[in-house]
Amino acid sequence: MLARMKTTIAIAALALLTTTALAQRPTDPSLIVPQSAPALRYTFEPRAVTLPDGVEMGAPATVAFDKNGHLIVLTRGERTFFEFDENGAFVRSFGDKLFTRSHGLAIDADGNYWATDVGGHVVVKLSPQGETLLTLGAKGEAGAWDEALGLRKLNQPNDVAIAANGDLFVVQGHTPGPNGDARVLKFDRSGRFVKQWGGKGNAPGQFQVAHGIDIDADGLLWVADRENQRVQVFTQDGTFVKELKYAGLPCDVDIGRDSIFMVNGFAGQLVELGLDGGVRAALGKPGTAPGEFGEAHMVAVSPRAEIFVADSVNAALFKFVRAR
């Protein structure tokens, strides 16, 4: 029994170290200085969801809500997708070993799942039943998308957002520094390529790591440009509108009717923004204790205004509710 326990602990430690390494923890201390802000009046709920006995969920990569208000968790475990009802009760899981390294997720008006495999260099569209309907990119092959040359490859797709008309926006390029190909690619609802923009750099319209994306009520794209410590805003044709600078590492945003919630990576924060992008409040810090983040990776807000954060480093799903 003791030998088995030691083996289990060793495997768990190795998994945590491997996940942390893949998450590319920055060596520049300035990138993990937290955003200064008043305290966010939300409290941590120790149990985000309930799993049946014998069912285990892998490290959450991201979270999203479907039209029924059900929470969908995209994981890096043996089973890829987990669904929970509005009360956090387990509904189902599906998708065995679908991806090399799961990363981003969006759900369209028909309930289809659009998920990114940052390690496999593809975006996959699945039906509500989990059947693969479409794949963008070439599985396991990083490359360029160039219609003139007949090249249709992606390079580390991180996240997706879906416009009101069904157009799809993919942000890619997970590796900071000189390597990688950080940009935005636009496709129509059938997966036909429309255009792209970006490239490595820190000028307006360029990216270091185009990590997360969401669309606001005016149809503008908000792209979390992580290592450039900013969010960039674009029209859907790629016209640069503005940049918003933050401390830490902006990883993802969820845009609501009254506010925006941003997760701040290895700075270990959940940050509330106004609809203009101004900082209102923040909570959290790095760590491994309950309510502390290994990496505040991706965020989604429920119809009840509950906030769920996927922490892929601590292999944890966090739930925060408004303080009474």
pLDDT tens string 51-99: 999 999 999 999 999 999 999 999 999 999 999 999 999 999 999 989 9
Band (pLDDT 50/70/90 cuts) for residue 177 is confident
Average pLDDT, whole number, for the chain? Answer: 93
- Structural domains of the chain in order of their starting residue, each with its CATH number: 2-322 (2.120.10.30)
Phi/psi-derived region of residue 17, left when phi > 0, alpha when psi is between -120 and 50, beta in every other case: alpha
pLDDT tens string 117-162: 999 999 999 999 999 999 999 999 999 999 999 999 999 999 999 9
Q: Please state the φ and ψ torsions of residue 172, each to the nearest 5 degrees.
A: -140, 170
Contact 104, 116 (CB under 8 A): yes
Averaged pLDDT for residues 301-308: 98
Q: How far apart are CA 174 and CA 183, in angstroms?
A: 10
**Which residue in 126, 244, 121, 228 sits closest to 185, CA to CA?**
121
- Predicted pLDDT at 7: 35
- Predicted pLDDT at 22: 56
Alpha-carbon distances, residue 135 vs 107, 201, 214 (angstroms): 15, 29, 21
- Predicted pLDDT at 23: 66
- Predicted pLDDT at 17: 41
Does the structure show a pLDDT above 90 at 207? Answer: yes
- Predicted pLDDT at 25: 82
Band (pLDDT 50/70/90 cuts) for residue 11 is very low
Percent of the chain with pLDDT over 70: 93
Band (pLDDT 50/70/90 cuts) for residue 27 is confident
Indicate the SS3 state at residue 93: strand
- Predicted pLDDT at 179: 83
Looking at the DSSP assignment, which residues form a beta bridge with residue 136? 123
Does the structure show a pLDDT above 60 at 253? Answer: yes
Q: DSSP string spanning 135-168?
A: EESBTTB---EEGGGTEE--SSEEEEEE-TTS-E
- Mark out the alpha helices in 173-320 (DSSP H runs): none
Sheet holding 252-255, edge to edge: 252-255, 260-263, 270-273, 279-283
Those residues whose C-beta lies under 8 Å from the C-beta of residue 218, and which sit 6 or more positions away, are none
The secondary structure of residue 181, as a DSSP letter, is: -
